[in-house]
Structure 1
């Protein structure tokens, strides 16, 4: 099979969508303090959401509709144990992806959005849990689908989140200075590394929070509604 046969335009379109989302999302994050000084924290959060959410929805729909595009690199969907493994990894990924749900009032701009310098809960395991969650999600879905389109999407998502690791640390250092550097010394990007090195300890009581029940409910809802979600996105023509 020649490269022109399986390298469909959707590969490039997806990379373009990912790049556009990364520029918008990280760009607005970089401009946060300037923007908040001009229009206030709540309104800037609304602007951030109005830009980021539609772009994210477009990415999700396009991924669902083209996930089997390109070359099939492997096919393991019929292998015993693969489906539970993929769902298990996906569930774990959400516990890393959505620690921000602990501040729902700030996300919705009901309470004044703030920049927090946390060193508790899941941040004891990893200073950038969303990156870890995204990597786990990408591994699970690339394993399940096994197509070049999914692989390209996963590599693009991981690249964006690796940049976000650097960008996030840069912004926190600029904001908090030595206070952030001390937190950085006690945490790690690689999960559990700081704990294994004795720089950090786990406090399991910090994980007993209603927010985790919310994440579990979201996972259950996603499991139940996954077939319906596939049907709805398939109605979009692009």
Structure 2
């Protein structure tokens, strides 16, 4: 029986979020006067300030004698395997990339307007009219529109691994956005134009303080955007799109923030509008995002394997559940993970969208969808 000696020195990055390994020395083991496995591992303890969120570097020395064996699970680093959410480092940005992004955004909006939104040249109205022939009920049409969008959006997302292998990451992102975006616009415009159709189930708009409560809920819902949304250069395919495994920030609260934010948004709007169309829209959107919880975990498990299982073990779908049962330990300066440029941008855009509601409603009404 042959034995091999592996001596390696590596520099690993640990993050000070409560997942450090302690230094350990594994003993030599012998059997029947022959060495079957010798594994000596020395790890220096991470030197860090317990309140710091910056990377802490650990030096690890491994001397291992084994016979075709990998490092055991107990010897794996227990630090972060996912990415830091909502990070925007100004020093790493390229002016040329943002010039490309601006140009691409302009082209996309122009093509979207000509090919879909403008009733004289686009197919958006024809699409809405075709779906509307399926039922006289605004609730049914609303659900069909959501079903079409959800089927295309989630279907293409499920096909992502295969699609990227066939045509590449950037072309697949263009295909994904080119089909999903017009369908999303149609669904939103139809909801705005028909939100007061149907049966009025309750009327609570005169209730004291309700508007303020629902406004705050709606505002908070946008802070539950999935962190990949902030990677605008990847969204526009300027940078090569990636399927990210996030682990900090909003992911500490819930592994599926987009679903939670959508539920909050739907509940707020349904309570305020109080009719059957709002209920139908909320049922469709929430169902789509609940499917996204299962599908998203499935895709991450396929792409990241054991790393995702580790993230799954210390996060939760239900907000705050992993924190309350002790699987997720928040650092003392957890709030700093939200004091970042993407969240400042979300704040400005959300406030702007609220004050722009009359303009959005007028623009939608003028389309007559």
TM-score by length of 1: 0.94
Question: Counterparts of 2:345 and 2:361 in 1: how far apart (Å)?
Answer: 23
The CA RMSD over aligned residues, in Å, is 1.2
Alignment equivalent of 2:289, drawn from 149, 161, 167: 161
The 5 Å alignment of 1:134-213 reads: 134-202=262-330, 203-213=334-344
Question: Counterparts of 2:368 and 2:260 in 1: how far apart (Å)?
Answer: 32
What residue is the counterpart of 1:20 in the other structure? 148
Instruction: Check if 1:228 corresponds to 2:359.
Output: yes
Question: Could you tell me how far 1:101 is from its partner in structure 2?
Answer: 3.1
5+ residue gaps, structure 2, are: 1-134
- Higher normalized helix content (fraction of residues): 1
Q: Is the 8 A contact 1:123 1:187 kept in 2?
A: yes
Question: Counterparts of 2:309 and 2:200 in 1: how far apart (Å)?
Answer: 45
**Range that drifts further, 216-225 or 124-133:** 216-225
TM-score by length of 2: 0.61
What residue is the counterpart of 1:75 in the other structure? 203
**Range that drifts further, 201-210 or 7-16:** 7-16
Question: Counterparts of 2:329 and 2:180 in 1: how far apart (Å)?
Answer: 35
Question: Counterparts of 2:251 and 2:243 in 1: how far apart (Å)?
Answer: 15
Question: Counterparts of 2:302 and 2:229 in 1: how far apart (Å)?
Answer: 25
5+ residue gaps, structure 1, are: 1-6
Question: Could you tell me how far 1:99 is from its partner in structure 2?
Answer: 2.9
Instruction: Check if 1:113 corresponds to 2:241.
Output: yes
Instruction: Check if 1:56 corresponds to 2:184.
Output: yes
- Higher normalized strand content (fraction of residues): 2
- CA offsets per residue over residues 196-218 of structure 1, 9 Å max, x none? 11111232221121000100011
Question: Could you tell me how far 1:100 is from its partner in structure 2?
Answer: 2.6
**Range that drifts further, 133-142 or 111-120:** 111-120
Instruction: Check if 1:44 corresponds to 2:44.
Output: no
Question: Could you tell me how far 1:38 is from its partner in structure 2?
Answer: 1.5
Q: Is the 8 A contact 1:8 1:69 kept in 2?
A: no
For the pair shown, which has the larger CA radius of gyration, 1 or 2? 2
Question: Counterparts of 1:211 and 1:78 in 2: how far apart (Å)?
Answer: 35
Counterpart secondary structure, 2:231: helix
Counterpart secondary structure, 2:213: helix
Question: Counterparts of 1:82 and 1:8 in 2: how far apart (Å)?
Answer: 32
Question: Could you tell me how far 1:235 is from its partner in structure 2?
Answer: 1.1
What residue is the counterpart of 1:131 in the other structure? 259
Question: Could you tell me how far 1:37 is from its partner in structure 2?
Answer: 1.0
Question: Could you tell me how far 1:82 is from its partner in structure 2?
Answer: 1.2
Question: Could you tell me how far 1:49 is from its partner in structure 2?
Answer: 0.7
Q: Is the 8 A contact 1:96 1:130 kept in 2?
A: yes
Q: Is the 8 A contact 1:8 1:70 kept in 2?
A: no
Q: Is the 8 A contact 2:228 2:244 kept in 1?
A: no
Q: Which runs of 4+ in 1 moved over 3 A?
A: none
Question: Could you tell me how far 1:231 is from its partner in structure 2?
Answer: 0.9
